[in-house]
Every structure is written in structure tokens, then in C-alpha cells.
Chains A and B, each alone.
Chain A
Amino acid sequence: MAENILHTEKLTMQFGGVVALYNLTIDVNEGEIVALIGPNGAGKTTAFNCITGVYEPTYGSVSFCGQTIVSNHPQGKMKKLYLGEKGKEKLKRITPTPDRITKLGIARTFQNIRLFDSLTVFENVLVAKHMRAKQNVLTATLRLNWREEKRAVEESMALLEEQDLLQYKDDLASSLPYGLQRRLEISRALATEPKLLLLDEPAAGMNPQETQELAEFIVKIKNKYDLTVFMIEHHMDLVMQISDRIYVLDFGKLIAHGTPSEVQRNQRVIDAYLGVADDA
């Protein structure tokens, strides 16, 4: 059994009265491709946002490589409801900003592509190298960090070359066609040197052929960069083809989990996707 890389414990996210995510407990092991699926509004992206620090979860914790990186519980009236007997104890809250989680080695892409539109393709990748460079604003301004800068440039060039984006190097990111923008976003995430890559609907808006290429691409980068991939996806062929395990969410709750063939046969999953007849 490979080592556990990501673990969420009873992750809950409540927006006012809406419980978008309820007691989500999942495990992702090193070297796996794990998919998170579910109908629209099931809370998949919310789960990603909780893991990457965009939202502070209402309750629950996330650990990465055995280290707790996010942990939260409600304050005041709701505390006892969520924590039960433990409500009297003083528990530690850890709510880091997304940049710190990225620094730990979790990179992500977004459902609706979020590139830096006014920067070139090359600069988009170079920005991701910023946080790893040993520099401060003074050395950067006076170019005393040229060693770091040179390395960042070289690494970014190498990455672009591997991803076949080198020819678009000096184009504005916003001028790329849709498929390439997707690939650039993944490349940019790779530039942060992650251990775990979270992909939020990487195949959204792609035709079957592009989806097939994407499947190969994901497997390729996974092997090449020693990654673990955790992805949200709606294209079932893609999910069934490349993922080792699948988690199924519906209305914020985990309804099934297992290998692709197990999930395909699961009655609750079929009900969630196709609906249950009234007379059944």
C-alpha cells in the first residue's frame, strides 16, 4: 500500500443554512489518480476550495503527507453541536492562506480557466517560480538574485518545451486557443513543483478527441513528475479510463467510493445521476 498523501477528516463547509459539504472523509495515496465526481452542485469544487485554503471549512481537518494543514471548528453556539463532548476542550485552529498550501506542494487548476491574461505564456509559468526563489525585494530589484532568476527562466523554458508550448512563449496568455489555455494552466501548476495536483474539471468544454488526448497527458505528467492526481471531472470516459479510485458526492455527502467498476455498478450512484422514479 502506497503512502497516504492527502486525508480529509469530516470536512464540512456551511454557507449560512446551506451545507455544501458534509463530513467528507477521503484518502488519496501517493502515486494514485483519484477522481471526485458527482452531479452539479454536489460540492466538489467546495471540497477543493477547502483543501487549498480558499475557504475556511466550518469543521474538519485536512492533512497532507501526515501533517495537518487545515483544521477548523465553529466558535460559540455551534461549537458543541459540531464537537460534542470535545466541545469543552480548547482545540487548535489552522486556517492558512492558499499560498502557504501551494508552498507545501499542492497545486491546483480552476474550473473556469484563471490565467494571468496580460502576461505572456512564459511569464505565466515564471510567476509560479517566484515563491521558491531565495530572494527579497531589494535583491530582486538590484538583480542580485540573477542566479535564482536564471534558474527560474531555465526551468520555465524546459517546462514549456516539454509541454509543447515553447512556440507560444511570447504570446499573451489570453490569446491562446482554449485547449492550450488549459494546458498552460496545468503547466503553470506544475511549475510550482507540487507533489499533489488538483485538477478542477480539466476536460470541461473539450470534444471527445481532445478529452482522449488530455487523458494521455494526465497520465504522462503524473509519471514524469512523480505526481499524485486528484481531479474533479464530468467526462465519465475520462474518469473511468484513468482513475484508480473514485469518490462520488451528492448534495455534499459522500455516497460511494471504490474502483471505477465498483462505482459504475453502485445503485446509489446511478440514482444520483439518473434520478429515482417516484413510484420506485
Chain B
Amino acid sequence: MNEKNRNINGVITPTEKANIFSNSLGFIKKNWIGFTLLASLYAIILVLEQVLPVSSMLFVVLKKGAIYALVAVSMNLCNGFTGLFSLGQAGFMLIGAYIYGIFTIPLEARAAVYQYFDGGIINFTVPVPVALIMAGLAAALFAYLIGLPVLRLKSDYLAIATLGFAEIIRAFFQWDKLGPVTNGSNLLRRFPVFSSTLYPFVVSSICITIIVLLINSSYGRAFKAIRDDEVAAEAMGINLAKHKQLSFTISSFFAGVGGALLAMYQTTVQAAPFKAAMTYEILLIVVIGGIGSVTGSVLSSFLFIACSEWWLRFLDSETYIGSFRIPLLASGFRKVVFSIIIMIIVLFYSQGIMGTNEISIDALLRFFKKLFRKGSKEEAT
């Protein structure tokens, strides 16, 4: 009873203060391997940047992979963990990208960028981190408004409606009347971008950590309950409308941040590439990685980007062995191969790489222990 009273009054006694402290210390202690791994990953990237030439394809893959990982994980939060089959991701990324671009183009560059619209009507800039958060918030706001009517729909219908809204957003940002703000269908450019590969990695890893924390919280469990059985979840006192809205909005927030990062990566923003095709790309990453697995999404986004940007590039260029031209290798063939790979995955590995499993330190330890035991058993026999 005492405990309860304290909760209501919000008074924190010294012992509880110590508790909170040891609690957060415990969190760091429990996850120190994870933190160390992350830190060493950053270190490796820093070293690689010194060693390899800047033009190396590896950096393209790492940068774009990190951004897509964030967007794929955010899509997984909505599609994989809450069971809302939403296809609006590209639309929310577009909002993020535009908001970032609009509010960070330096004042002196505005006249050149908004050359058809008298320098635009926005006469201030905000710092980059603030712009990133604004990008997320704007996407989340749109998602909230769209979610009000759309989240009453289920499965395929929800997918169609969100896809439609994403297209509407794209058309809206290209609208000529909005030119002074969005520059119409012209490019937004000359906003601050990142040069180091570390930047998207740090932002993505912070965002993904937050999403993972959310998924493992009480709310995350409620989301999974909704995914498994809506009727039962409701009977357990989970407000469906509220939780679906939450998941959808939060997912869009991080899609918006991802969009802003993508804008930084591309150095220019235009509404045209944020088509449904982009959503499908992300959906593919999620499906390949395993619907309902965060580590799967991260892993597969790097794989996907590596394949599409680097390893399978050779399929697109005409190649000769001596004077013999290898058949089929021509521009566009990469997409054919890709489609076949996708079909094989969907038909035979519909669980994706990870299914709903996660790569965690505990799981790895267990795996190695098992492997070790198996090895020693074989030795014994």
C-alpha cells in the first residue's frame, strides 16, 4: 500500500533514488557486450574510412544500408510487430526528407534553390539535429491524421489505403501552388549533408535502439498481442484504436527520420523517387529479413543494398570474354535476377532469414555452447 501511495504522489525517497541508479547501472551492465560491439563497429568504420579510398562501394553500401535498416525496422514495428499491413512508408520518408531539406537550406543558398519561387517563403534555418527530429515529427503528425480513418480498415484494405495516401502525399508535395515551400517538382539541394559513414550509423543505431526498447516494453507486448489476436487483445483491456494509432505513428516518425537521412545521403531531394516502388523495396527487406525480427531487418537491408548497389551490378553491364559477348547481361537484367531471387525466397523461405528470431548475445552464446557440446560429443564417440 505504501508503495502505491508513493507512486501516486510521485515522491522519490532516497532509497528509491538509489534503486533507480542501480537500475540504470544494471541496464548498462546487462548490455555491456552490446555497447562494446556497437563501439567497436564505429571504430572499425572510422578505421575503414582512413584505409580505403572514399569512392569505395563499401561506403555506399554502409551508408545506404544503415538508412534502409532504420526504415525497415520502423516498417517492421508496424507490419511485423503490430500486424498492421501498411504500405505508406515511402510517403512518410518523403515528408521527412522534404521537411529536413526545407528547414536546413542555408539562407544564402535559398535564392538559387527556389529560383522559380523568389527564394521561397521560409526565411530561417534550424540546426541539423533539430531538423531531423522535426522531420520525424512531421511524418508522425501526418501518420496520425491518416491513421484516424485508415486504421479502421484491416489487412489488404489497410495496405491499399496507406499506399493511396502515400501517393497523395507525393502528388501534394509536387503541387505548384506549394512551390514557395516545397519548390514544386524541382530539386531541393545545398542543404547540409554528412560526409562520414559514421553519421547515419550513429543516428540509425540510436533510433533502432529506441524501437527495440519500445518493442520489449509493456507496449511492445500489447502490440504483439494485437498482432496475434485482436479480439483476445481487446478482451485483455488493450485499446485497439489507441495502440494501433501509436504503433503507426511511431513507425512513421522513424520513417521520417530515415527519409531525412536519405535526403542527406542523396544530397538532393525530389518527390519523384519516393514512389510505391520504394515502399516495396523496404517491404522486401522486411520480408527477406523475417517479419517480426529487428536483427533480421537490419541484416537483410545491408544484404539487399549490397546486392542491388554492388554485387549484382555486373549483371547490368555488357561483358565480353575475348570477343564472346555473354548473353543476357544487359541493362535491366539485374532486376530480372532480383525478381527471381525474391520469388524463390517468398516460395521456399517465406519465414525470411530470421523468422521471428533475433540475434542476441544470449542466443549467440547458447548457439556456440551447443556447437561446442556437439563437437565434444563427436570427439567422445
State whether the Cβ of A196 lies closer than 8 Å to any Cβ in chain B: no
Residue of A nearest to B211 (CB): A141
Q: Using Cβ atoms and an 8 Å threshold, which residues of chain B touch A148? A: 7, 218
- In the complex the two chains form, what is the Cα distance from A149 to B233 in whole Å? 19
> Which of A118, A129, A192 sits near B356, CB closer than 8 Å?
A118
Q: Using Cβ atoms and an 8 Å threshold, which residues of chain A touch B292? A: 118
Residue of A nearest to B242 (CB): A99
Residue of B nearest to A107 (CB): B235
Q: Using Cβ atoms and an 8 Å threshold, which residues of chain B touch A54? A: 231, 234-235
Binds A, one of B144-152, B222-230, B263-271: B222-230
State whether the Cβ of A135 lies closer than 8 Å to any Cβ in chain B: yes
Q: A114-B232, A143-B213 are in contact. Are A131 and B221 (CB under 8 A)?
A: no
On whether the beta carbons of B219 and A188 are closer than 8 Å, the reply is no
State whether the Cβ of A2 lies closer than 8 Å to any Cβ in chain B: no
On whether the beta carbons of A98 and B224 are closer than 8 Å, the reply is no
Q: Using Cβ atoms and an 8 Å threshold, which residues of chain B touch A117? A: 228-229
Interface residues on A, range: 35 or more
Q: Using Cβ atoms and an 8 Å threshold, which residues of chain A touch B229? A: 114-117
On whether the beta carbons of B228 and A116 are closer than 8 Å, the reply is yes
Q: Using Cβ atoms and an 8 Å threshold, which residues of chain B touch A97? A: 234, 239-241
> Which of B217, B224, B237, B238 sits near A119, CB closer than 8 Å?
B224
Which A residues from 23 to 74 make CB contacts under 8 A with B? 52, 54
State whether the Cβ of A142 lies closer than 8 Å to any Cβ in chain B: yes
On whether the beta carbons of A102 and B236 are closer than 8 Å, the reply is yes
> Residues 86-122 of chain A: 1 if any B CB is under 8 Å from the residue's CB, otherwise 0?
0000000000011110110001101000111111000
Q: A116-B232, A130-B222, A133-B218 are in contact. Are A141 and B238 (CB under 8 A)?
A: no
Give min CB distance, A88 to chain B, whole Å.
Answer: 33
- In the complex the two chains form, what is the Cα distance from A125 to B184 in whole Å? 53
- In the complex the two chains form, what is the Cα distance from A110 to B229 in whole Å? 12
On whether the beta carbons of B237 and A130 are closer than 8 Å, the reply is yes
On whether the beta carbons of A126 and B224 are closer than 8 Å, the reply is no
Residue of B nearest to A109 (CB): B235
On whether the beta carbons of B238 and A142 are closer than 8 Å, the reply is no
Q: A103-B237, A130-B218, A135-B218 are in contact. Are A115 and B232 (CB under 8 A)?
A: yes
State whether the Cβ of A79 lies closer than 8 Å to any Cβ in chain B: no
State whether the Cβ of A246 lies closer than 8 Å to any Cβ in chain B: no
State whether the Cβ of A145 lies closer than 8 Å to any Cβ in chain B: yes
State whether the Cβ of A178 lies closer than 8 Å to any Cβ in chain B: no
State whether the Cβ of B272 lies closer than 8 Å to any Cβ in chain A: no
Q: A119-B225, A127-B222, A127-B225 are in contact. Are A137 and B246 (CB under 8 A)?
A: yes
Interface residues on B, range: 20 to 34
State whether the Cβ of A134 lies closer than 8 Å to any Cβ in chain B: yes
> Residues 345-368 of chain B: 1 if any A CB is under 8 Å from the residue's CB, otherwise 0?
000000000001000000000000
Q: A126-B221, A127-B233, A127-B236 are in contact. Are A137 and B250 (CB under 8 A)?
A: yes
State whether the Cβ of A152 lies closer than 8 Å to any Cβ in chain B: yes
State whether the Cβ of A219 lies closer than 8 Å to any Cβ in chain B: no
- In the complex the two chains form, what is the Cα distance from A102 to B222 in whole Å? 15
> Which of A108, A118, A146, A149 sits near B235, CB closer than 8 Å?
A108
Give min CB distance, B76 to chain A, whole Å.
Answer: 14
Q: Using Cβ atoms and an 8 Å threshold, which residues of chain B touch A189? A: 235
- In the complex the two chains form, what is the Cα distance from A189 to B218 in whole Å? 17
> Residues 65-82 of chain B: 1 if any A CB is under 8 Å from the residue's CB, otherwise 0?
000000000000000000
Give min CB distance, A204 to chain B, whole Å.
Answer: 16
- In the complex the two chains form, what is the Cα distance from A115 to B231 in whole Å? 10
- In the complex the two chains form, what is the Cα distance from A140 to B239 in whole Å? 16
Q: Using Cβ atoms and an 8 Å threshold, which residues of chain A touch B232? A: 110, 114-116
State whether the Cβ of A147 lies closer than 8 Å to any Cβ in chain B: yes
State whether the Cβ of B23 lies closer than 8 Å to any Cβ in chain A: yes
Give min CB distance, B211 to chain A, whole Å.
Answer: 9
- In the complex the two chains form, what is the Cα distance from A98 to B227 in whole Å? 17
> Which of A52, A108, A123 sits near B221, CB closer than 8 Å?
A123
State whether the Cβ of B210 lies closer than 8 Å to any Cβ in chain A: yes
Which B residues from 310 to 358 make CB contacts under 8 A with A? 356
Q: A116-B228, A119-B225, A147-B7 are in contact. Are A127 and B238 (CB under 8 A)?
A: yes
Residue of A nearest to B232 (CB): A114
On whether the beta carbons of B356 and A130 are closer than 8 Å, the reply is no
Residue of A nearest to B212 (CB): A141
- Interface contacts beyond A99-B234, A143-B213: sample of 19 additional A-B pairs, CB < 8 Å, sorted by A: A97-B240, A99-B238, A110-B232, A114-B231, A116-B224, A118-B227, A119-B221, A127-B236, A128-B236, A130-B218, A130-B219, A130-B222, A130-B236, A132-B237, A133-B218, A135-B218, A137-B219, A137-B246, A147-B7
What residues make up the interface of B, taking CB atoms closer than 8 Å to A?
3, 7, 20, 23, 27, 210, 213-214, 217-219, 221-222, 224-225, 227-229, 231-241, 246, 250, 292, 356
17 CB contacts below 8 A, A to B, read: A97-B241, A102-B234, A103-B237, A116-B229, A116-B233, A117-B228, A119-B225, A128-B236, A130-B219, A130-B238, A131-B239, A132-B237, A134-B7, A143-B23, A145-B217, A148-B7, A151-B3
Report, nearest first, the 5 A-B pairs whose CB atoms are least far apart.
Answer: A131-B237, A114-B232, A102-B237, A116-B228, A140-B217
